[in-house]
Copies of this chain bind each other. A is one copy, B any other.
Amino acid sequence: MTKALTTRAGTTSATDLPYMPLCAVFRRFLKRKGLKFTHERAVILDAVLAREGVFDAEELSDEIKAGGRRVSKATVYRTLKHLVEAQIVEEVLIDSRQVHFQQSFGRDPKGHLACLETNQIVEFPTKQLDEMAEKICREYGFDFISHRFVIYGVSPQARKLEQDSTQEH
């Protein structure tokens, strides 16, 4: 999507190269559902893959616009739904203002450490937690699907900011 690349062996197009596996995953998902891989969906997937960490629909839309490409917000919302269903992206519920997303394909589940002062979000690995979640599910007779673990706190940076402004008094 971003720049032209020489096609090797004439089998893959330039469009595929920056994210070959996920693009393929998405195309396969769409085909299975009788849906189409459109230019807009490619642009959105591209933007998702370019993102690090957590984002919301608005941010994604803005980044697409900033990149000089144009996709309507309605399409961004519609496509994010498909990406979630394709398990390429997952919803992350950090606060109640709006839905947040993050790329999830092939990643281990992560927990989120959110700073209530600065809205900074740090990810941490959740090995032990994953097992615990499945065990709890079993105890209650549930089939496990996924889990979300969010810890709220105050980051060192926020604490420092606060100290600085107190000293100014």
| Interface positions of A (Cβ within 8 A of B) | 91, 93-96, 98-99, 111, 113, 115-116, 122, 124, 128-129, 132-133, 136-137, 139-156, 159
A153 in contact with B143 given A91-B96, A124-B136 (CB within 8 Å): yes
11 more contacts with CB within 8 A, not counting A129-B129, A148-B148, are A91-B96, A93-B93, A93-B95, A96-B99, A111-B136, A122-B142, A124-B140, A128-B132, A140-B155, A142-B153, A146-B151
Residues of B within 8 A of A95 (CB): 93
Q: Are B159 and A143 interface neighbours, CB within 8 A?
A: yes
Complex copy number for this chain:
2
Contact (A141, B155) CB under 8 Å given A93-B95, A147-B150, A149-B148: yes
**Cα-based distance from A60 to B145 in the complex (angstroms):** 30
CB–CB B145/A147 < 8 A:
no
Partner of A153, one of B113, B137, B148, B156: B137
Contact partners of A111 in chain B: CB under 8 A = 136
